[in-house]
Amino acid sequence: DTGVSQNPRHKITKRGQNVTFRCDPISEHNRLYWYRQTLGQGPEFLTYFQNEAQLEKSRLLSDRFSAERPKGSFSTLEIQRTEQGDSAMYLCASSLTRAYRDPQETQYFGPGTRLLVL
């Protein structure tokens, strides 16, 4: 099975520390999305990449957050100086689109990285 994978699956850190998460999308998927999900809520959009270009960022993404997708393959999401409010599940999704606006674009989610900031 070559679905979306994320590492680590769980991360516990102390407030003020930096953390980095990795997402490996489905092979050949050109779009990659990051979402954040808190308990009892639906996923919230953070940012997205078209190949290696980061094309949109949510206002939720403060300056402490940075994401990269070098070479248009895997992506990393880094949180600097973590705060307790950063505790959440961070989900990655990928999709394959063949047009600028593909009405059939389907996002496939990975299992997520659960972050707990103490």
Partner 1 sequence: QQPVQSPQAVILREGEDAVINCSSSKALYSVHWYRQKHGEAPVFLMILLKGGEQKGHEKISASFNEKKQQSSLYLTASQLSYSGTYFCGTAVTNNFGNEKLTFGTGTRLTIIP
Q: Is 36 helix (H, G, I), strand (E, B) or coil?
A: strand
Q: Is 70 helix (H, G, I), strand (E, B) or coil?
A: helix
Exactly one of 55, 60, 116, 118 binds partner 1 (CB under 8 A); that residue is: 55
By beta-carbon proximity to partner 1, the closer residue of 78 and 102 is: 102
Per CB under 8 A, 25 contacts partner 1: no
Q: Amino acid identity of 110?
A: G
Q: Tell me which stretch binds partner 1 (CB under 8 A): 21-29, 60-68, 79-87, 106-114.
A: 106-114
Give CA–CA dist 24/32, Å, rounded.
Answer: 9
Q: Is 7 helix (H, G, I), strand (E, B) or coil?
A: strand
| Residue ranges binding partner 1 (CB under 8 A) | 4, 31, 33, 40-45, 48, 50, 55-56, 91, 95, 100-112
